[in-house]
Structure 1
Amino acid sequence: MTAEGARLVCVPGLGLNEASWRPTLQALRAAGSRREQAVLELPGYGVRPARGADLRPEALAAVLVDALRRRPARPTVLAAHSASCGIVAHAVLQAPELVSALVLVGPMTDPRAGTWPRMAGRWLRTAGWERPSQVPVLARTYATTGPAWIARTMDHARREDLRTVVRQVHAPVLVVRGRHDRICPQDWADELVAAAPGRARSVTLDAGAHMVPLTHGARLAAALTEAW
């Protein structure tokens, strides 16, 4: 995947904020990357939603596209984590001229785990592999977004099969997952790659679980650098 000269714009996962991407972006800079970097927070994904906000992935994608259009015109690599992967995929469909590549880290919305009990089961099988040091960051960000808003936003995200969106994405797609991520198992990553009509591949890091942008920033940064 090549996206020379493109800026990197990251979207946090559900209930998270820019801090969740900070270790990865710091590792990219430490490795000598001069690529312009930004984290865009969205309602439910770093920003507490306003009452009555439309939290469907395609509606949040429109918010993201509007934010991109207000920046100087430049090709953009969109990177998302977990539930926000559906948002960036919709954003590519809404404004393909703005996006040069798509990075999906630990993408959710595997239809086999679309119910609350199945999502909880995958989360529990993953949680034991996560680093306890991330808990203070998660506690702060989840409290800012609000548990009720997180639940409402997830209720919209879980209903969508991400494959149906990726099938329409012609930009290059990179799917990245941690080795112990049960929320995004290897076969789901492979299905997304197979669904993409353009260039696509998946990378499984040799460590980490679902929260790799926060817990294994250096490894994720290396995967991104190799992809470009």
Structure 2
Amino acid sequence: MRWRSVQEFVHLDRTMLVRRPEGDLDDGPAVVLVHGIGVSSRYWTRLAPLLAPHASVHVVELPGFGDAPRRDEVLSIEEHASTLLAHLRTEGLDSAVLVGHSMGVQVVVEAALQDPARVRAVVGIGGVVDPSSRSTLRQALKLGHDVLREPLSANKEVLRDYARTGLRWYLRTVPSMIGYRTEDALPRLEVPLLVVRGSRDPICTREWAEEMTALAPRARLVEIPGGAHVTMFSRPQEVADEVLAEVRATAAAPPAATGPAAATGPSVAAAPPS
């Protein structure tokens, strides 16, 4: 697919890239796609064109990932979320559906906690981190298991991005992901949550997906038959249908409450890896 524009967005000396697919709607509902650890916008290239005729689609590359410039420090999940929110405010996107994958789920959940009035809904695909697997080794083993379940095309895109990211940067980023307690964040979520998992995903297990759904005040769970962890790449049409259904379902939803609870500072304390 082709991108119709690529924008550099700088916030507090952090540079994030924002890509727009050809054919998306400037005046449509905003849908923002946020990737996971070690990867980039590349694995959204099958989903984004399916959303484009119906939405204003913004595909980000977080600072330090993909083609986004890398600085010495590794950002926390809270800092990634605040950078994402700064872009939404700059663009005047005040009712966005935030779609995250894997570590990106943590980023979009945290963004909705920091500024719930700006977020219409959150879609979490293959969310992490399952509390029963809160260690670098367990996550690595599950990732290796997932590689065996993904189609070759998905592995090719993901492994290409991992190679570009490099092992050192990947390992430096892992503690931020492991340390963010998604299970503590979800009960405070004020906006609707759609939990999406591939039925063969070994990283976001059925049990963990059900726990995420139960923890959030307003949530529903959808399983994509045959999909593994990168289900939006291997089953893009099914995922697009669910995302667009969430966009439509939340179109008339009242905005989240504002006030002290909607402050824009970090809202979940990171815990050290175990």
Scaled by the length of structure 2, the TM-score of the pair is 0.75
Q: Given residue 219 of structure 1, which amino acid in structure 2 is its aligned partner? A: E
Distance 1:162 1:18 in 2: 23
Q: Which position in structure 1 is the counterpart of 2:70?
A: 49
Determine whether 1:22 maps to 2:45.
Answer: yes
Matches within 5 A, 1:189-204: 189-197=209-217, 199-204=218-223
How large is the Cα RMSD of the aligned pairs? 1.6
Partner of 2:234: 215
Are the aligned partners of 1:78 and 1:88 in contact in 2 as well (CA < 8 Å)?
yes
Q: Is 2:117 aligned against 1:97?
A: yes
- Conserved? CA contact 1:61–1:90, under 8 Å: yes
Shift, 1:226, TM fit: 3.0
Gaps of at least 5 residues in structure 2 are: 1-27, 249-274
1:74 aligns with 2:94: yes
CA distance, structure 1, for counterparts of residue 203 and residue 69 of structure 2: 24
Give the Cα–Cα distance (whole angstroms) in 2 for the partners of residues 45 and 85 of structure 1.
16
What is the aligned partner in structure 1 of residue 56 from structure 2? 36
- Partner amino acid, structure 2, of 1:69: R
Contact 1:175-1:203 at 8 Å conserved across structures = yes
Deviations 1:118-154 (A, max 9, x none): 2123223322210112233223322332221111112
Whether 2:193 is the aligned partner of 1:170: answer no
Structure 1, residues 49-83: CA drift from partner, whole Å, max 9, x if none? 31124x21111111111111111243100000001
SS in 1 for 2:54: coil
TM-score by length of 1: 0.89
* Aligned CA distance change for structure 1 residues 27 and 73 (closer, same or farther; 3 Å): closer
Contact 2:224 2:235 (C-alpha < 8 Å) held by counterparts = no
Q: How many residues align?
A: 219
Q: How far apart, CA to CA, are the structure 2 residues paired with 1:69 and 1:218? A: 30
Q: Does 1:115 align with 2:138?
A: no
Higher RCO (C-alpha under 8 Å, 6+ residues apart): 1
**In the aligned structure 2, how far is the partner of 1:115 from the partner of 1:13?**
17
Change in Cα spacing, 1:207 to 1:81, as seen in structure 2 (3 Å) is same
Where does the alignment leave 5 or more consecutive residues of structure 1 unmatched?
none
Structure label with greater radius of gyration = 2
Q: Is the 8 A contact 2:88 2:94 kept in 1?
A: no
Distance 2:149 2:221 in 1: 21
Q: Secondary structure at the match of 1:49?
A: coil
